[in-house]
Amino acid sequence: MTSAKSELLKKLNDRSAVIGIVGLGYVGLPLMLRFSEVGYKVLGFDIDSHKIERLNAGDSYIEHISSDMVRAARHSGFEATSDFDRAVEADALILCVPTPLNKYREPDLSFVLNTVDTLVPFLRPGQIVSLESTTYPGTTDEELRPRIEGRGLKVGEELFLVFSPEREDPGNRNFTTRTIPKVCGGCTPDCLEVGTALYGQVIDRVVPVSSTRAAELTKLLENIHRAVNIGLMNEIKVVADRMGIDIHEVIRAAATKPFGFVAYYPGPGLGGHCIPIDPFYLTWKAREFGLHTRFIELAGEINSSMPDYVVSKVASGLNAKRKAIMGSKILVLGIAYKKNVDDMRESPSVLLMEKLRDLGAAVDYSDPHLPVFPKLREHRFDLKSVDPTPEALQSYDCVLLATDHDRFDYDVIKNNSKLIIDSRGRYLEPAPHIIKA
């Protein structure tokens, strides 16, 4: 056992290690809270000065994470900073930065690589670096390891490198950072041992795998499995609609089978930081091996087509009332990517709003979790959430249910809307003014 490894394991096990978390968003912030909770000093890094100020003031900017939790972490020694020079203070550096797609639907590793390049000058012997950002198999070995070893640090002897994909599910009260099993793969057996020791302090079950590549593919498989099954349900939804059958009724009935069926539900498109993006990381990497992942890409095509399908339902619903989309007032209910959260990442609601706006509609939105439309990199709306009172609902030609938050009063919406396009199957009983989409 190298002295670097033994000293690092001792620090991790007696919780004297300093934990550095890079990226304090929906993944990094819960992880910070968990390490702080068990007694580690945590140093958080982010390039967003607004986030840094709020966290250091004990204020949370994520709805399902309370400010009380942030204040407790601050009291335990947590500090947020944009000064990456301080990475040298950390014994563990956990990278939780975005891995989006570029405009050609290809992996964009710029956030990861820029972060690593920024950290490299401050790496030292006796540290562990863990990448949690979803990516294609080979990223850790092919991109991170050469950069670290270019610093003169031998991975597996002086510095330890692992990939351990995040599995956060914002707003899900049934699972926490602690209770969700953590997959971990190392560049070497010693790297894996240190990675297991790191996460074993804060996660109930760590699942070791043979390599970083296996861990990277595990994360992609989890999300491709979901994307493909949602794509199947979206395709069957269109077929069922043409046949005059309610697909949600069919799924609920099928879900009563106690074996061999898992219920997935269709919707207006895919949202979130994983499901719409991760499959394309594998399809891109597969081309390097001369493979064409037709099944995955077909599911992607189907899921990507759903916003247009929903817009067509809006058009046909308005047409039946002798109205066009152009000039109509449309209220979109829910702009978060899923119910009961304030997470806007890749939300299909934004695509729906843009498509309707481009067709000439006057578009507003209502979302109790997002009172002001946030600033996004690619989408611009200068709007505030509309309170869906009876009077407000009556003023719209169409109400489009895009995200079915529990805080909406669905009876009020039903009784005061001229036309409802329900893309979530929320309304079970048929009504003349409700169209399933």
**Active site positions, annotated:** 274
Q: Is 340 left (phi over 0), alpha (psi -120 to 50) or beta?
A: left
Query: Do 413 and 436 form a contact (C-beta atoms < 8 A)?
Result: no
- Say if strands 434-436 and 420-422 run parallel, antiparallel, or are unpaired: parallel
Is residue 217 classed exposed, middle or buried when 0-12, 13-18 and 19+ CB atoms within 10 A define those classes? buried
Whole-Å CA distances, 375 to 49, 74, 347, 348, 383? 15, 28, 13, 16, 11
Q: Which helix (H) or strand (E) holds 45?
A: strand 41-45
The helix-helix angle for 247-254 and 212-242 (nearest 10°) equals 130
Whole-Å CA distances, 8 to 31, 133, 197, 314? 20, 23, 10, 59
* 3-state secondary structure (DSSP) of residue 83: coil
* 3-state secondary structure (DSSP) of residue 130: strand
How far the first Cα of the chain sits from its last, in Å, is 60
E strands along 218-368, which residues?
Answer: 329-333, 362-366
Cα gap 252→117, rounded to integer Å: 50
Report residue 206: phi and psi, to 5°: -100, 130
Query: Do 64 and 70 form a contact (C-beta atoms < 8 A)?
Result: no
